[in-house]
Structures are given as C-alpha cells and as structure tokens.
Amino acid sequence: MRALIQRVSTAQVAVDGAVIGRCGTGLLILVCAMQGDTAAEAEKLAAKIARLRVFKDDEGRMNRSITDIGGSALVVSQFTLAADTRRGNRPGFSAAAAPEDGARLYLDFADRLRGHGIAVETGRFGADMAVSLTNDGPVTIWLDTSS
C-alpha cells in the first residue's frame, strides 16, 4: 500500500458540495492499495503511521506521534498514487488494486488505524471528492509498504 501523509491543523473532504469527513490537528492520509496488497499491508501501514513521530514536542522537534498528541486522521482513497509516469505523458494506473480490492483494503486500513486509538473519518471510495487542508509545517511524507 502507498500513502501520502500530510500533517494538518485541519482537513476536510466533500462530495457534491457536502462535507463527509474532516479532522482537526492530525493527519490527512491519501491512501492507495496496490495489486497484490493484503490485510497485512493495511496493518503494516496503519501501525507505521500510528507510531510516526511527525508532531512537535515541547522543544519544537518532531518527536511525537499522532497517538501521543491525541490527534485525528482523515483518510481519503487516492488511486492516482499508483501512477506510472515512466513512459509518455499520460500516467498509467495498472499497478493499483482492482476497485473491489482497493475499496476493501481502504476501509480495512481506516479500521486498523482506529484500532490504534486514532479518531478516523474517511472520504468515499471512487467518488469525485474535493479535499481541502491546512498543511502544518508543511510536513508531507510518502510511505510505501513495499519498500
């Protein structure tokens, strides 16, 4: 699985103009299931993110995790993280999981993140979503369970 995480002070996702998910201080997590991914990758990614120390401590260093600060997460499916841009000018997405597998793993990932004690809201898999955020830092980190 792949994820792009952004440390945020606020984030929200809307579908057809209606906000369906939001978070305050915490993480916006754009996530993509890849072909061959299983529940093991969903758990590996959730555990890594739950422990990732990207929030400031009292001395201003990134030394606290989302669980340490009691932060929340907004998880949004983003199959374009599977983009292959090595040839031509149009990205290919054949490395992404099939939609039914992607949806299942996306929801499984969100549930596993909740299992680490994190308040999680989500977007809607496959929908045309409008995501807005205030990136704090900015801090943006790429994670991939295959590497």
Sequence-separated (6 or more) residues with CB below 8 Å from residue 58? none
* Residue 79 is among the residues annotated as catalytic for this protein: yes
* Residue 12 is among the residues annotated as catalytic for this protein: no
Active-site residue (options: 6, 12, 55, 78):
78
Whether 76 and 123 have beta carbons less than 8 Å apart is answered as yes
Active-site residue (options: 6, 12, 55, 79):
79
* Residue 35 is among the residues annotated as catalytic for this protein: no
Strand 72-77 relative to strand 119-122, pairing: parallel
Give the 3-state secondary structure of residue 54: coil
Active-site residue (options: 80, 93, 134, 140):
80
Catalytic positions:
78-80
